[in-house]
Amino acid sequence: MKNFDIVVAIDSQGGVGFQGSIPWKVKGDMAFFKRLTTLSEEGKKNGVIMGRKTWDSLPASYKPLPDRVNLVLTRSATLDLPEGVCSFSSLDDGVTFSENHTIDRLFVIGGSEIYREAIQSQWCRCLYVTYIEGQYNCDTFFPEIPDRFHLMSESKKICESDITYSFRVYNSVID
């Protein structure tokens, strides 16, 4: 099976969302997300797997996320998606599809429900966590990070407007 990485921004309580959107706007993180998930080997695209609610939350102008293969997880057989966007009824099906098509790197990009399942998967190799200092009003959360993930690096703190954040990378230590 194909390995994948998780990309997430969390607050100090692990919050990721509120009422279907992200409760902060950090341009530096958005640029990081775009660069990380888009840059791929020549001739290939990366894949981004997301839950249906995260798909719904994307602004129309970013739907589908450009220059990436968008994969949406849903248990509904009738979800209407634009051409080129694929839906899958399980995480494993999405990962298997990515293995069989010319997809370079594969990223799980949320939301909470999908993170919970993905972080337990043996195919999850790396977590890119943008750590936003402070506590926001959130109703959806990132799961506790399992012990098999070790913090490998953390950027210096970055201040943008009144928000302080840093980029953390965790790697799975189990092959």
Ligand X SMILES: NC(=O)c1ccc[n+]([C@@H]2O[C@H](COP(=O)([O-])OP(=O)(O)OC[C@H]3O[C@@H](n4cnc5c(N)ncnc54)[C@H](OP(=O)(O)O)[C@@H]3O)[C@@H](O)[C@H]2O)c1
Q: What are the helix and strand counts (H, E) for the chain?
A: 4, 11
Q: Which stretch binds ligand X (CB under 6 A): 37-45, 88-96, 97-105, 159-167?
A: 88-96
Q: Is 124 in the site for ligand X (CB under 6 A)?
A: no
Backbone angles phi, psi at 38, to 5 degrees: -95, -40
| Minimum gap (Å) between residue 34 Cβ and ligand X | 13
Do 165 and 132 touch, CB atoms closer than 8 A? yes
| Minimum gap (Å) between residue 42 Cβ and ligand X | 28
Q: Is 52 in the site for ligand X (CB under 6 A)?
A: yes
Q: Report the first-to-last Cα separation within the chain, whole angstroms.
A: 13
Q: Is 40 in the site for ligand X (CB under 6 A)?
A: no
d(CA 36, CA 30): 10
> What is the three-class DSSP state of 97?
helix
Among 117, 136, 166, 171, binds ligand X (CB under 6 A): 117
Report the candidate in 9, 14, 75, 73 with the shortest Cα–Cα distance to residue 37: 9
Q: Which stretch binds ligand X (CB under 6 A): 61-69, 106-114, 118-126, 159-167?
A: 106-114
Q: Is 110 in the site for ligand X (CB under 6 A)?
A: yes
User: 3-class secondary structure for 59-75?
Assistant: CHHHCCCCCEEEEEECC
Q: Which stretch binds ligand X (CB under 6 A): 59-67, 103-111, 146-154, 164-172?
A: 103-111
Q: Is 111 in the site for ligand X (CB under 6 A)?
A: yes
Structure tokens at 87: 């839906």
User: Which residues of this chain interact with ligand X, rule CB under 6 A?
Assistant: 8-9, 16-17, 20-22, 50-54, 57, 73-76, 89-91, 109-114, 117, 140
